[in-house]
Chains A and B, each alone.
Chain A
């Protein structure tokens, strides 16, 4: 299913705040292959594991489903792996176990009633449908169950919102390290731009909560803002995290020169690589949160320029990138085009050893 552009998937509209010719390339419409069209006034979906257990099924029927689902997972073998580095049978079986955990209530001894029935958060028909979508449509597992486990959080996600990646968990550690040595930054206002599910804002909000600091999280997608708001509320961080709808720095005009910190995991995949992505990513996740333009650097360069303007002296920033090449290019850009704006620039690797992040401070 392909839908044309909806109001949700607007092209990047960078603010006029910064007039750099390098951003013109971004002001073009993106095509999207995302599945759902979401009306305005978005109501976020409730993740499977939080839905009420209003269904019940016979244990033998559940087992029948499980055998079928496992068979389907095994039929995949390593086809996905070879075609686009997708999941193989063993990974799919692990996901099947997680799907069971989310869909079925309780332990077998508690969950199975005397009449041999189990309580479910979803009916059997939908359960068949969900697993079919997972395997046949390559719908990401996280969209199937409506959540992703990230750091200590279980975050709600749905179509239209980027699924937070384990690599990004490290950004919270960077921030945690910086504020542990600097009370001033801990008390300040931080921003997470292109927050998506709100993962970074929530991770950082938790770190700052004890010191009185707060996070402003922005996203141009109303779906993302709605989902992020739902997640913020679930972790009772609404006093520390404020959500603003809009593109990058656009909703932050009142914060010029006042931000204590700035983080972002912006779209950074070069446009030419989008078509070759793993199906779960390329077919289902919002292109607007993946595609970083010709060299993947459009949003990153924009963030650099904005950081120079929005951060207060001594303010900290951390950006995630596509890898070594982008890290180097970003550092070069900061040193050459923005000399005097930033100091203590560092490239940090993720846990797989890929140079992933650029961090530093405003002069």
Chain B
């Protein structure tokens, strides 16, 4: 199948620090890709480059064959196709749960209020937050906020959904609920790229695991390849910490 996103020769540095070095990476429809690796290995930066929250220094990002880094590309249009779920939820503090899920639909996609509302209700139901429509983000727990944030992203009908350590800021007992929602989405065939430290999720849910080390992709393969038979010594070293734990 044709790739949705294809990344070639991607480079990014912050000051002197090389964060991404010559990344080659592609995403096919229906894939659930987990990016794993130590902190500072460039996972989050790679993810943020995919929807241009970070501007790469060099390289190409081809979306359906078109390079989005070249010329006058409509970045906002593109971003509606690539949803993002953040570690710190980032719900809009001045809006209740329902409006958080509607505002992008009505103001960016120009959907009618009624259509936006129906869509929001559908996805809020799906993430188990239908009973909280009038709640403000400040009234919700971390896990609830993250589920609303997932619904907000889904309401835009993205082709790919990016998750940047979606459970890292959660209390342990909240993690399960969010991971359940993500597993459900994966089962339905949503294309996802997930930066995560949840090795159980990577092993059980992903179709491909990408191990990053010092700004390069050190190894990638099926979860079986990576978890049972890692080739790269750095992968082995990284994973051994999780297996012991």
Instruction: Tell me if chain B binds chain A.
Output: no
